[in-house]
Amino acid sequence: MNADLPKGATTRQDLAAEGIALVASHGEAAQAAAAMLRRRYHFADERQARILVALGGDGFMLHTLHQMLDGGEAIPVFGINRGTVGFLMNEWRLDCLGERIANARRIEVAPLTMRAETIHGDEWTHAAINEVSLLRETRQAAKIEVLVNGRVVLPELVADGVLVATPAGSTAYNFSARGPILPLSANLLALTPIAPFRPRRWAGAILPDETRVTFNVMEPTDRLVAAVADQFEVRDVKSVEVSLDRARPLTLLFDPDQALDERIAAEQFAT
């Protein structure tokens, strides 16, 4: 009898009937876990999936969600951590996968949309689940004009960069840049400077999530700036607009005692 089957079981549990499919990152731990799960459970074909199990780390989860935003169908994703941090993932366990998914809490997150124009006249549009960040490309600090809903709020920010983060992404790069942690239900965005020089004491802002934020790069050909939407980079930008896209929500599934909103709240007390 297969060592991965529960004691007394002779066949794999059928998750294909529920439309549950499995994908895994290329990492060794994720591939080994996928092999164990496939011996224990029968999964649906990914093309007919109604629910997706994603094995890997947070980077793979973002990759999976971006594939949905880039043209695939947005179906619920139950992540299992076989990566490093796993903030967006559930704990690895071989047993009771079907029951875990059936009892999971559904958490909806809306992505940001980045619209960037380069100094060469190219225009790019890309989604971001965590954050959109502007970063200097050279040794010189970036100089950026910041507008909120078309109104100039900072005529000149001199810094290594600046970012806009969603609540789901507020515990990632935003938090490392000393930005605020946002509760998932708060309907807010974080506007956070990265190593600001002027205004020296500006710590950022918390904005309603219907806000449109525009960044105009000053001296864009001399002080080169890149814009990054999660892992997608556009170099040599001269202007970037960021807004929330409620029309394309994404659904993450979590074990009831490990839901994303509770994890974000707990991060405020992490030491």
Please give the pLDDT value at position 8.
52
pLDDT at 170: 96
pLDDT of residue 257: 87
Q: Are residues 252 and 260 in contact, defined by beta-carbon separation less than 8 angstroms?
A: yes
Catalytic residue (one of 4, 45, 58, 245): 58
Please give the average per-residue pLDDT across 245-268, as a whole number. 90
- pLDDT of 269 reads 84
63 annotated as a binding-site residue: yes
245-252 mean pLDDT: 94
Query: Where do the domains of the chain lie, and which CATH numbers do they carry?
Result: 13-109+248-267 (3.40.50.10330), 112-244 (2.60.200.30)
- What pLDDT is recorded for position 59? 94
In percent, the amount of the chain with pLDDT more than 70 equals: 96
pLDDT greater than 60 at residue 229: yes
- Asked if the model's pLDDT at residue 1 lies above 60, the reply is no
User: Is 168 flagged in the annotation as binding?
Assistant: yes
Give pTM, 2 decimals: 0.90
Question: What is the model's pLDDT at position 3?
Answer: 64
Mean pLDDT of 182-203: 94
Q: What value does the mean pLDDT take over residues 44-64? A: 96
171 is in an annotated binding site: yes
Average pLDDT of the chain to the nearest whole number: 94
Taking the C-alpha atoms of residue 131 and residue 228, their distance in angstroms, rounded to an integer, is 8
Euclidean distance between the first and the last CA atom of the chain, given in angstroms as a whole number: 46
What integer pLDDT is reported at residue 201 of this predicted model? Answer: 86
Higher pLDDT, 166 or 8: 166
CA pair distance 45, 103, nearest whole angstrom: 22
Lookup result for tokens 């066949």 = 11
33 labelled ligand-binding:
no
Please, what's the b/e burial string for 102-127 (b: 16 or more CB within 10 A of its CB; e: otherwise)? eebeebebbbbbbbbbbeeeeebebb
What is the per-residue pLDDT for 90?
96
pLDDT of 9 higher than 70: no
175 is in an annotated binding site: yes
CA–CA dist 21, 63 (Å, integer): 16
Taking the C-alpha atoms of residue 90 and residue 83, their distance in angstroms, rounded to an integer, is 11
Lowest-confidence pick of 104-118, 123-137, 145-159, 247-261 = 247-261
pLDDT at 7: 60
pLDDT digits (tens, 9 = 90+) for 75-123: 999 999 999 888 999 999 999 999 999 999 999 999 999 999 999 999 9
3: CB partners within 8 A, 6+ apart: none
At 8, is the secondary structure helix, strand, or coil?
Answer: coil
Q: Which residues contact 33 (CB under 8 A, 6 or more apart)?
A: 24, 55, 80, 82, 92
Respond yes or no: is residue 58 known to be catalytic: yes
30 is in an annotated binding site: no
What confidence tier does 259 reach under pLDDT thresholds 50, 70, 90?
A: confident
Give the separation between CA 248 and CA 260, rounded to whole angstroms.
19
C-alpha angle 145/149/154, rounded to 5°?
Answer: 25
| 26 belongs to an annotated ligand binding site | no
pLDDT surpassing 80 at residue 222: yes
- Quickly state the pLDDT bin for 61 (edges 50, 70, 90): very high
- The annotation status of 267 as a binding-site residue, yes or no, is no
For residue 90, what is the DSSP state? B
